[in-house]
Structure 1
Amino acid sequence: MATGGNAIRGTRVGAGPMGEQDHGFHAERVAVSYWDSLGNETVRYFAAGVADEEIPDIIDSPHSGLPAGRDKANPPALAKTEPYKTHLAYVKERRTDEEASQLLDDALKQLRERRGQ
């Protein structure tokens, strides 16, 4: 059985032209362009009534995954990720060696008092 070009297959009777271009209301919108550091442009559409402060300045580019900004001449740089830090590294940032030594001595003193030594 050969499949022919049946134009009405899968459509409703009286559905109108394919794609229904004449149906529905299209809200006003504004196009905002974003560029990443590789020069890729991404266009995002926002409702025309949205305040400019609510439109993001930076998005993630779907082309490269890099941050993309609204200024074509100065696209945002990739943020440098901070390496994983252990709990000890954070403690060492907050305490000097002298403070750490004093805290350790105090903790050992309390432990020895509880054990009766």
Structure 2
Amino acid sequence: MPIGNVIPGTRVGSAPERHQPAPCRTVTYWCRNDHQTAIRLAAEVEVPQVWDCPRCGLPAGQDAQNPPGRVRPEPYKTHLAYVKERRTAEEGEAILAEALAALRRRRGRPTG
């Protein structure tokens, strides 16, 4: 019957190996909703200027009096919007006419 806090597979009286934890520092961020977030980072790591707030998702900065503003996301673009960025209206008309002519040829209809 085990006595005390003995870990199975260890010798009685053996001590676990002790390791020093990596040096860390705590960096505090604030968002526009006054949420405070404390992040532990390794000492040698460069501190990010902005951190996403885990409570509301807004960007948070290290200055409590002047937190960063909301980032405007890129609006969703359709495939047609991307095509219109690459092609002019004249190019689009030429491509459409070419595609319609090929379709009519496959179906055996005269082009025109």
Confirm or deny that 1:100 pairs with 2:81: no
Look up the match of 2:45: 51
Q: Cα deviations across residues 2-31 of structure 1 (Å, max 9, x unaligned)?
A: xxxxxxxxx9369xxxxxxxx874443211
2:103 is matched by which residue type in structure 1? L
> TM-score scaled to structure 1, two decimals?
0.60
3-state SS, counterpart of residue 105 of structure 1: helix
**Identical aligned residues as a percent:** 46
What does 1:2-81 align with in structure 2 at a 5 Å threshold? Answer: 12=4, 25-48=20-43, 50-52=44-46, 55-81=47-73
Q: Matched residues in 2 for 1:85 and 1:68: separation?
A: 27
- Where does the alignment leave 5 or more consecutive residues of structure 1 unmatched? 1-10, 15-22
3-state SS, counterpart of residue 98 of structure 1: helix
Higher mean C-alpha displacement, 76-85 vs 27-36: 76-85
State the shift of 1:73 in Å: 4.2
State the shift of 1:32 in Å: 1.0
> TM-score scaled to structure 2, two decimals?
0.62
Q: Matched residues in 1 for 2:101 and 2:32: separation?
A: 58
The one of 67, 74, 79 equivalent to 1:82 is 74
The one of 60, 83, 104 equivalent to 1:91 is 83
State the shift of 1:112 in Å: 3.2
- The alignment's C-alpha RMSD in Å is 2.9
- Where does the alignment leave 5 or more consecutive residues of structure 2 unmatched? 7-17
3-state SS, counterpart of residue 34 of structure 1: strand
The one of 90, 94, 110 equivalent to 2:102 is 110
- The alignment of Structure 1 onto Structure 2 pairs a total of residues equal to 96
Look up the match of 1:3: none
Q: Matched residues in 2 for 1:91 and 1:25: separation?
A: 57
